[in-house]
Chains A and B, each alone.
Chain A
């Protein structure tokens, strides 16, 4: 066998062994390269609500770490020429995403992740950065909007009162 052939066989063997190690199945069924187990009870992405408090909860595996970032889209009250402003996902408002809070947690033997989030009025974004014990990572993003019940009620009342005034 030529030296070139031997080198080729060696290289192929190294790649195969590396792949076997990479995808070797640990005892709990998780595999290096798999997405971490993190099953949200409800994916709240796209939700519109009047409620301030929301609970983000999920089933996961022991030793998984979760970092929750809560952002809020602060709409510009006045146009500024100093700060570089971003538009939100729909591009309808100008303003900037501000970090409200960040919290990290490590999942224990219960397999439960639960965090209460207090939404601010307007657009909110929850970003969950998840990493399991094998180092697998996943990011879950949920956009949600909290509507101002009081403002909406006043707005409707004003319309009704205007109609009443017209009738009078």
Chain B
């Protein structure tokens, strides 16, 4: 079970277990002919937590076993034989370094000699084999797991009995056009989702002063407050730190004069510092996950890391428009200090307005028409991913997000580029393209 402590009514968790930040982009239960994508919404929260908890426990046990080399290497060209078994599959939305992966699960270091990055994991119920996917090598690495007191088959059977809708991998149908991450409901039926209302994270909070003081080590004696006419408020000690909150509620902490470390920064330390800092300063939204980790370099040295977090509402990720292309929480660690931390979180709640959701096939039928090609001047050559999300525009509405590779001609040269289309889940209208 989760070990998050201190969850407040706002959904913010003040003591976040960092292994929960490993929440996969997709948690899939493969049951032979049927596949189910688990979403952590009210209806499935208990099942999701049980399955995710079991996965983490099995991975922890593997990390602490003496296995350093894989028993078998399986190319990723055809994952179908793995998926046709009864197993649980985790797919991450970015390549997480094996060091960071191990550290988030409580291990000191990456024990696997052949693995640099983790893009996914498959945990087999029948034989307890664990397959680690490293996309940089296009390979699954097979290890011997041990279920101990856990019983993956029982968890899979529970999902099977729940009559959850079946999902399909579109790359099984057309691997030239669809990537391995495109796993969507075979049929939507009549799925409806609410439009959301959003409040600024700190709106009406009587703890605001207390929260700001924590950024200054609870010493506000030297703190100045500057209020701009546009609604921006800046808190500063005029020497080392400032906290800026703009009219839209976006909070940005900056520490000046951060020293450059003499040795290369390590990702596991950055993750620990980041988790501790956010836990102490305003906390994580309940369903947070790591969206990306980027190295900050100076010359050929890694001096720190930029870690990006996103969050979900009822299991669906909250995405921003192209004019505001950043994550919910971004934190920059240089050496062992936090140089910058930016938060743009909303307190979300359902409105009475309900949207009916178009099926993924309907959405792709719209996106892949000649009209779109003519209008955009771009030809979609590959669909990399597709998922339901909430889109922070004027209203917060359910959307389909489609990650694609496009081809276009510029000055006679054929260019390929990755883009993201955000399409109204009810209307089928393209709302944003970035």
Please, which residues of chain B bring their CB within 8 A of the CB of A112?
A: 170, 173-174, 361, 364
Say whether chain B's binding surface is mostly helix, strand, loop, or mixed.
mixed
Min Cβ gap A144→B in Å is: 10
| Interface membership of A33, Cβ < 8 A | no
In the complex, what's the smallest C-beta–C-beta distance from A117 to chain B, in angstroms? 9
Which of chain B's residues have a CB closer than 8 A to the CB of A58?
Answer: 173
* Cα distance, A108 to B370, chains bound together (Å): 11
Q: Is A100 an interface residue (CB 8 A)?
A: no
B365 at the interface (CB under 8 A from A): yes
A142 within 8 A of B: no
> Using a CB-CB cutoff of 8 Å, which residues 347-389 of chain B contact chain A?
361-362, 364-370
Q: Are B365 and A57 in contact (CB under 8 A)?
A: no
Given A51-B33, A53-B34, A109-B369: A116 in contact with B166 (beta carbons within 8 A): yes
Residues of A within 8 A of B369 (CB): 108-109
Whether A110 contacts B368 by the Cβ 8 Å rule is yes
Would A55 and B166 be within 8 Å (CB), given that A108-B361, A116-B187 are in contact? yes
Contact A109 B173 (CB under 8 A): no
In the bound assembly, the distance between CA atoms of A32 and B346 in angstroms comes to: 57
Chain B minimum-CB-distance residue to A47: B33
Let me know if B165 is at the binding interface, CB within 8 A. Answer: yes
Q: Given A51-B34, A108-B362, A110-B365: A57 and B186 within 8 A (CB)?
A: yes
Q: Assess whether A108 is in contact with B34, with CB atoms less than 8 Å apart.
A: no
Q: Are A111 and B34 in contact, with the CB atoms below 8 A? A: no
Write out the residue numbers on chain A whose beta carbons fall within 8 Å of the beta carbon of B173.
Answer: 41, 57-59, 112, 114
A99 within 8 A of B: no
Does A115 reach chain B (CB closer than 8 Å)?
yes
Q: Residue of A at shortest CB range from B373?
A: A109
- Give, as a whole number of angstroms, the nearest-CB distance from A123 to chain B: 17
**Chain A positions within 8 Å of B365 at CB level:** 108-110
A12 within 8 A of B: no
8 A Cβ contacts from B142-195 to A: 160, 163, 165-166, 168, 170, 172-174, 177, 186-187
A105's nearest neighbour on chain B, judged by CB, is B361
- Tell me the complex Cα distance, A114–B165, Å: 13
B361 and A53 contact, CB distance less than 8 A: no
* A55 B34 Cβ-Cβ under 8 A: yes
Nearest chain-A residue to B359 (Cβ)?
A114
* Closest chain A CB from B83 CB (angstroms): 12
Question: Is residue A49 within 8 Å, beta carbon to beta carbon, of the partner chain?
Answer: yes
Does A54 have its Cβ within 8 Å of any Cβ on chain B? yes
Which among B163, B187, B366 has the greatest number of chain A C-beta atoms within 10 A? B187
Q: Which of B32, B170, B361 has the most CB of A within 10 A?
A: B361
Q: Are A111 and B174 in contact (CB under 8 A)?
A: yes
Question: How distant is the Cα of A54 from the Cα of B364 in the complex, in angstroms?
Answer: 22
Distance of A108 Cα from B33 Cα, bound (Å): 25
Given contacts A53-B166, A55-B166, A108-B362, 17 further A-B contacts (CB under 8 A): A41-B173, A49-B33, A51-B160, A54-B33, A55-B186, A109-B364, A109-B365, A109-B367, A109-B368, A109-B369, A110-B368, A112-B173, A112-B174, A114-B187, A115-B186, A116-B165, A116-B187
Which A residues have a C-beta under 8 Å from some C-beta of B?
41, 49, 51-55, 57-59, 108-112, 114-116
List the 8 closest A-B pairs by CB distance, nearest first.
A108-B365, A110-B364, A109-B368, A55-B186, A116-B186, A114-B186, A109-B369, A116-B187
